Structure 1
């Protein structure tokens, strides 16, 4: 393993949901091969790439083949029955990696959605980018549970909230080791939502887009939270440049209706969408979170700052004319602020800022602490008490649903045991062979369904309820700490269920 001799001054990062669903995603092979080509041709050249919904080894190897000359290190992560769809590519050596599966992770009965079967979780890689002890970046890439209904009626909101809590804990542990941390992925949340606030508050990372665009949208224009801001409906260009919208854009051909999509294809006239087209449904679901790795007690070491952030992969497949994925990418450049002795003049910095760059050179001494303070992690960090109460109420509501589900499924199993016994007894008195066959068929199929339902109710739902109990304890513990109470709750302080 060849270690870097000198730490880089900048780190370029890309995250992209590839939409690589096997058998379901149209033109999967062609699109993901082109994604590999675009990563290799990206400007600036990427150093770290996080991919989601890259489900198959075939597609991963295709992307690796196209990018290996600039990203020689990579890891495809295995999870669940069908795989987690997560991958990390790197210019520098990957020293360690792990795959953490979320305790709350969808339901097996929702097989048509697949979240439980793919074993969603957090893929992490510890990457060394320089020779010094702390020249390490810990990269996390994830794909949170999809919102199949609108909040607050989303039956999976408890899962997504718990997943945000889990990744926040992993991020916090990495930052406490003094490393640069990057959390990438399709978080399936809008800015400043509950999950977003959990990550931003309970871990010392910041949403890089929100740092550069603090007034950007917090949802699609028709969402209640965005309507309350009373902003005009944005155009497609405004959504990509200012709002950072990565999903449901009018620029993305996979969001067009079937009739419009049929007009695309090989040897057909190109269809361009003007940048001033009204874009009411676009929103930001993909994120890059980062910390600074700046030691305020030891400032001569410097730290990392956000230089740029943009939405990428907007152009379409050159032959098929379709978008490369149903999401756009998020791309950022982090720049290291060198020691005070190597800084450039304030005038150069100001001229760079006026030219439109957030940071293009090292700041002056007086600005160093100010710029890094955007990442300052106040300890202890807490959300408002009503937010913890909201989460606890969410857990209680979902717990009641799951307890009801467990009773119904176990009841279904018991009922079919008796029905099956009844069918077997009835076979003895059957007047005709075909009647006996029907009774045996009903008994077999019904009992099989009952056993499956009983196993789901007794094993899976029971496991989910225990995971909910752990989540409730942690939220109650955080709430107690926010109140200034003992940071460790007694076990009996939580309702036993």
Structure 2
């Protein structure tokens, strides 16, 4: 739902370009019928966004699944965020929302080509149609005053890498949003990518986004030595850093998920006390081995990109970033979501002269990952494609078996002497045909569609690898000449 402001003076504000920009991203954990205390928590999330100081100018929400929850948030924040879009996607909705102080000129919802499997109905990623919610926001009268915002929620990891069977999906999704963000940067606009990316810093998906979108992770700009995962993870143990406490994870590591201070991650004893209405308190100095950063804000000031080092230019620079929305519900005493928010402030130098390329599209300097990384991605694609081919054969074979069983049961009905036996055979026939058809459709239609998407992804990675090799060869010749 895309709403217009109620009063015309809000549109006139676009004639005054902003000198700063406050951004907020939060996974609301608003799963209908599943998330506990959903209505109460989402209402309080709306209250705290409305009371934020400084107030956000652009908000991206994930897992805001219901129109009712969106309407509550819109109602409480429309006095300073008069523009909003609830994005529709998939069978149950994508759960993505973008709110803005300024008009949303264009919007779209791009579903990821690789996005889970229908057989994993208990996980739901395929059914919600995960993708990228896009909004082109007009902050002022000139083309310098356009921000292109990309809000997303990547496929969840259900196992640890490298055993995660969905790593190929998340890698492809990171590649897809990186392409969209790079296109926006080449149009010369401010690019903002935010959401729950379900990845850890400097993981493969993270490196793909920073390299191929040319946008920067705001937290690593300010804290380049922050954690690469939870303290218990191997990648952190190899760094030989001390065990962080909860406060350090919030203020220095940017941990938004699995914090010891988040009540939805507490042990059973604490949860039971909380459920009885007791305001249980956890000291911020407690060890925090599980907390990690899954929520991100990326940005790139595309119209003034520095070709020498790839950093955002002086027009938009990062002032601060923080983890927010840590306050608990005032009466239920629970955390507002199973995630905390990530927030950032960008400041603008309006005295910066327009670049010679600022009035039209331009090509950003190419940057590439190490060649071995592209080989790693291609290996992952090949491994997953082989898995899906086996799945297709098994599912189609299962369909054939169930069809044969159905026919056998129908023939058997002719010869059985008792009606109750005929009924049992008919029941088996109906059930086996239903199961077989479902499996046949998944094998014949879904898996075939997924294999075609994998071929497209493979071509794009191979093509990029060839360009990277050509660049490497050219630089090698220049170095020897």
Q: TM-score, normalised by structure 2?
A: 0.91
Specify which structure has the bigger relative contact order, considering alpha-carbon pairs within 8 angstroms and separated by 6 or more residues. 2
1:49 is aligned to 2:59: yes
Alignment of 1:25-424 (within 5 A): 25-265=35-275, 268-295=277-304, 303-339=315-351, 379-424=365-410
The answer on whether the counterparts of 1:111 and 1:117 sit within 8 Å (CA) in structure 2 is yes
Superposed displacement of residue 340, structure 1: 6.0
Instruction: State the alpha-carbon separation in 2 of the partners of residues 395 and 146 from structure 1.
Output: 18
Deviations along 1:85-131, one digit per CA (max 9) or x if unpaired, are 00000000000000000000000010000000000000000000011
Deviations along 1:407-448, one digit per CA (max 9) or x if unpaired, are 000001111111111111111111111111111111110011
Change (3 A) 1:486 1:227: closer
**Structure 1 runs, 4 residues or longer, greater than 3 Å off:** none
Superposed displacement of residue 258, structure 1: 2.7
Superposed displacement of residue 57, structure 1: 0.2
SS in 2 for 1:222: coil
Q: CA RMSD in A?
A: 1.9
Instruction: State the alpha-carbon separation in 2 of the partners of residues 460 and 78 from structure 1.
Output: 21
The answer on whether the counterparts of 2:185 and 2:303 sit within 8 Å (CA) in structure 1 is no
SS in 2 for 1:263: helix
The answer on whether the counterparts of 1:302 and 1:338 sit within 8 Å (CA) in structure 2 is no
The answer on whether the counterparts of 1:77 and 1:85 sit within 8 Å (CA) in structure 2 is yes
1:480 is aligned to 2:466: yes
The answer on whether the counterparts of 1:247 and 1:282 sit within 8 Å (CA) in structure 2 is yes
SS in 1 for 2:193: strand
Show the counterpart of 1:346: none
Instruction: Tell me how many residue pairs correspond in the alignment.
Output: 450
Superposed displacement of residue 265, structure 1: 4.5
Unaligned runs of 5+ in 1: 342-368, 370-376, 488-497
Instruction: State the alpha-carbon separation in 2 of the partners of residues 312 and 447 from structure 1.
Output: 52
Show the counterpart of 1:347: none
Show the counterpart of 2:7: none
Deviations along 1:182-218, one digit per CA (max 9) or x if unpaired, are 0000000000000000000011100001000011000
Superposed displacement of residue 292, structure 1: 2.0
The answer on whether the counterparts of 2:186 and 2:364 sit within 8 Å (CA) in structure 1 is no
Change (3 A) 1:481 1:86: same
Instruction: State the alpha-carbon separation in 1 of the partners of residues 100 and 52 from structure 2.
Output: 14
Instruction: State the alpha-carbon separation in 2 of the partners of residues 195 and 145 from structure 1.
Output: 11
SS in 2 for 1:420: helix
Instruction: State the alpha-carbon separation in 2 of the partners of residues 37 and 485 from structure 1.
Output: 52
Change (3 A) 1:220 1:296: closer
1:460 corresponds, among 435, 443, 446, to 446
The answer on whether the counterparts of 1:221 and 1:281 sit within 8 Å (CA) in structure 2 is yes
Deviations along 1:346-378, one digit per CA (max 9) or x if unpaired, are xxxxxxxxxxxxxxxxxxxxxxx9xxxxxxx97
Superposed displacement of residue 2, structure 1: 4.3
Superposed displacement of residue 167, structure 1: 0.1
Instruction: State the alpha-carbon separation in 2 of the partners of residues 295 and 439 from structure 1.
Output: 72
SS in 2 for 1:264: helix
Q: TM-score, normalised by structure 1?
A: 0.88
Q: Which moved more, 1:18-27 or 1:419-428?
A: 419-428
